[in-house]
Amino acid sequence: MKKSFSSVMIIIGTVIGSGFASGKEVAVFFSRFGNISYFLIPLCFFFFFFVIYFFMNCSHILNKLQNSKIFSFLCLIISLIFTSSMLAGTIQVVPQNFFLKTFVVIFLIVVAVVVIKKGVNSLAIINNLIIPFTVVSMLVVLFSNWNGVANVPFSQNAFAGAFFSVLYILLNFSFSGIVISKTGENLTKKQKASVSLISSFVLSALLLITNIVLLSNPESISEQMPLLSISGFPFSMLIRFVIFSGCITTFFSLVWTSRLALKRFGVETSWSVLIAVILPLLISVLGFGSIVSFLYPIASIVGVGLFLIEIAFYNKKC
C-alpha cells in the first residue's frame, strides 16, 4: 500500500507542474477549442492509463534505451524546456522581493543537487509530503471559481483539438516515462494496474474541472496563469501554493531525468547541475506564458518521436 501510494504521488507530482497547476496547459491544449474539449478530456483518461501502465511495465526497455545517445539527447531537450517553465512559474508566483526570489532559487539548486545524487527515493519523500495538499488545494480553488458548465461554440479549428489532446499526453509523458518506469520496478502487476488507474483518474478529473472553470471564465484563457487571474483573495494565495508546489515537484523530477541523460554523455555531477538547473534558469527569462505557448508545442513534437522510439523498441524486444 505504501509503495503504491508513493508511486501515485510521484506520477502526479511529475505531471502536475506549472502549466497544469496554473491552468495554462489546459487553456492551450483544450479550452481554446470550445465545447469539444468537454469530450476530449474524458478520453484522455484512457490515454493516461495506457501510457502510465505501459511505462510501468517496460522499465527494462527504458534502461536499455538510455544507452542510446539520440534517445538521451531528445530526453534532455524536453527536460530543459520543462525545467525552464517550472522555474519561470516558480519565480512568477513568489512575492516580488529580490531577496526572497534569490533564496528560493538557491533552495531549489541545493535540493536539486540532493535529488541528482539520491534519485527516486528523494522524489518519493518530497512528493508524499507535498502532493496530497496540492491536489486538495487545487480542488478548493477550482470549486471556488465554479460558475457552472458554459456552452461555448466550437472554434474554427475545433477538430485540431483532437490532435492537440494527443500531443498533450505525449508532451507530459515523454520526459516522465523514465521516472514512471522507475517507480514500477518494485510493484506487482496488480499494483501497477491500480497505480495507473488512480493516477489517471486524479489527473483527468483535475483537467476536466479546470477546463469547465476556464470555459465559464473565457477571458482567463489568454492569461499567462488563467487560474491565478480569476482567483480572488484568499484563493489567490492558495493557487499560488498549488503552482509553486507543482513547479518544484516536477522540477525535481526533471532535474533527475536530465541527470540520467547527461550521465550517458559522461557529464560529471557538477556540470549536470550547471546544465540541468542553471541553463533552464537563463531560459526562464523568456517568461512562463511564452515558454508554454511556444516551446511546449516543440517539446510535444519531440515527445512524439520519443514515444514512437519507445513503442518500436518495446515491440522489437517483445
Q: DSSP letter for 155, please.
A: P
Query: What's the pLDDT at 267?
Result: 81
Query: What's the pLDDT at 109?
Result: 82
Query: What's the pLDDT at 314?
Result: 57
Residue numbers of the domain that contains 33: 2-317
Per residue of the chain (318 residues), what is the pLDDT tens digit? Answer: 677 888 888 888 888 876 788 888 888 888 888 788 888 888 889 888 988 888 888 766 566 666 667 777 877 888 888 888 888 888 878 877 888 888 888 888 888 888 777 766 777 788 888 889 999 999 999 998 888 776 666 555 666 777 777 778 777 776 677 778 777 777 888 889 999 999 999 999 999 999 999 988 888 888 878 888 888 888 888 888 888 888 888 888 888 878 877 887 888 777 877 888 888 888 888 887 778 777 777 777 776 777 676 666 655 654
Does pTM surpass 0.75?
Answer: yes
Query: What's the pLDDT at 59?
Result: 63
Query: What's the pLDDT at 175?
Result: 64
User: Do 33 and 168 contact (CB within 8 A), yes or no?
Assistant: no
In 3D space, the residue among 282, 176, 290, 170 whose CA is nearest the CA of residue 225 turns out to be: 290
What distance in Å separates the CA atoms of residue 48 and residue 14, rounded to the nearest whole number? 13
Query: What's the pLDDT at 138?
Result: 92
Q: Which residue has the cell 539520491?
A: 118
Query: CATH number of the domain that 12 lies in?
Result: 1.20.1740.10
Cα dihedral 216→219→223→227 (10° resolution): -30
Q: Distance of CA 257 to CAs 80, 83, 146, 217, 261, Å?
A: 10, 10, 36, 36, 6
What is the C-alpha end-to-end distance of the chain, expressed in Å? 30
Total domains in the chain come to 1
56 grid coordinates = 510501468
Query: What's the pLDDT at 205?
Result: 94
What distance in Å separates the CA atoms of residue 125 and residue 127, rounded to the nearest whole number? 6
